[in-house]
Structure 1
Amino acid sequence: MTQARSIVLTEFGGPEVMRLASTDLAPPGPGDVQLRQTAIGFNYIDIYQRAGKYPLPTPTGLGHEAAGVVEAVGAGVTDLRVGDRVVYMNAGVGAYADRRNVPAAKVVRIPPGISDEEAAAVFFKAMTAQYLVKKTHAVQPGDIVLVHAAAGGVGQILCGWAKALGATVIGTAGSAAKCDVARAAGCAAAIDYTQEDWVEQVVAATGGKKARVVYDSVARHTFMGSLDCAAPFGLVVLFGAASGPAPAIDPELLNKKGCLFLTRPSVFPHNADPATFRANAADVFEAMRSGAVRAAIGARYRLEQVQDAHRAAQDRTVTGAIVIIP
């Protein structure tokens, strides 16, 4: 058997509960491939799961995405070969590892010109942005788009992609420094949503026009303001809850605010079918090649430094994506 190193949790808590362990890795089963992982993506959901906010059965691994090289294929796998560079998401928690078996249907080849680190840094985040700008609302030239948490991992990708599609993008972020990051990511204007009059500032930034679509991953601190930033018949997309759950509202409020539409989508249902998943991934890779999506890597940590990676993310000391190197 092959030896594998992976992060294991036996309890929930702070970064210190993550332990690096060595285990025997069996050959890949039918429909699976065995990967030697070269770069692991970090997402904020990893912190929530480690802390027990989204409890997992223990013992458990952590992590949802990684890039690597196929080292072995299981029975029935015909579309992947040993030596292929691939990336995956949603193959079950456990991406924090140097080797791993995953379902072949959950991986896609990384095209030439995109590095393993670039793919791991943005794949999950870019797949989120892809359904938001192409499916939830097909962003069109001339659209006014509002993106909350525009300096975050998904936020920066979302801003750049929406701008490339011809939208005027207004971003919000939680500090003046993060607003600078948002502008660099493609925002025509960036507003600090910790200021009391941030809604008025958002509307003023477009000359009094409101947004055709509002992408809100902050929720509790921004949701009610999001309703005030949407144009009549506009769409408010609640796709995360970084500050806590959004307040409950009476549906009649959507009518009073301008006959608004409200949705709460997520990335996994948009990629549940393997063929759809690979088509969406191809869209992401094309956006990376064109420059619409950029892999802004803010920090790299070794697998044995994963506790430091989580602390840096919690303390918000890193701007851009965190990549963990096995």
Structure 2
Amino acid sequence: MWSGVTEVSVRNDMLRTISDMGTVALAVTDGMLHFELSVAYEVFGTDLPAAAGSWYRLSVHGPGPVRFGGFRLEPDRGLDRLPEADTVIVPGWADVDVDPPADLVDAVRAAHEAGARVASLCTGAFVLAAAGLLDGRRATTHWAHTEALAARHPRVEVDPDVLYVDNGSVLTSAGKAAAMDLCLHLVRLDHGSALANTVARRLVVPPHRAGGQAQFVTAPVPERDTHPLSGLLPWVNERLDRPLTVEDLARRANMSTRQLSRHFRTATGTTPLQWLLTQRIRRAQELLETSADSIDAIAAATGMGTATTLRRHFNRALGVPPDTYRRTFRSTGSGAR
């Protein structure tokens, strides 16, 4: 609920079928951060009955038994088999002051060259950068290490102010909780919003925080019964079919438009109109995936007014028109059920 505006994340060349993204490999070595590793394992390694048998097949790849955070892990396969995976996840790298192991870097590079989608969580971006995968690309990592990443890899366009960056075949996330945001983003790309929301509910986390949202938000998840917006946002989500304005929201919240904007920036990292547009687009995604409603009907149900307006905002936010989005997710079996 508390998300900012959706940044462009779904592109024509990224619309793959789930069979293309069925295998996920965690690339591990000594010194990995256990939180990020656990997040990826929980999202991609736990079976989801709602996926009707089309869920990911997860494997752990390493040079041998690895130690991290007081734990010892026995990988399923060696790093040499990393190129066999459709998606490779590189968890956080603990010691960013030293170069990551060459065998890990080489394996990640080989996987990408073989066509794998490669994603880093937190300081795993240092591994991708060492492999040359971030050269000339925008990327992020934990805010405390963005300066170090930029200094060590000057060809990387480091953005310290976002939760994650999606470049298509290469993705990076900021620290800790942002790792979960990126993992859910991948699920949303592969399986659609409905299953991504199912995973989020199981994990008791917000279903969607846009990649463009700031890493630093004073209160990213306000207390529902005490925050000034706690009653407003559910009210808005129940009325997305109506032509709501900032003045309407301020009147409902019993505050001035300036106060409303300040509270929105504090709570969500974005503006009221940007947040409202994100909710409309999310609702359109769900309807495209789960209903046979026409584009005109979906435009009306999401407050977009006309199919032309819906197409313009949808294409700008997700990089594809609604019709293509619907065909893609229906072809993966994650559409209407």
TM-score w.r.t. structure 1 length?
A: 0.31
Q: Which has the higher strand share?
A: 1
Q: Which has the higher helix share?
A: 2
Higher RCO (C-alpha 8 Å, min separation 6): 2
TM-score w.r.t. structure 2 length?
A: 0.30
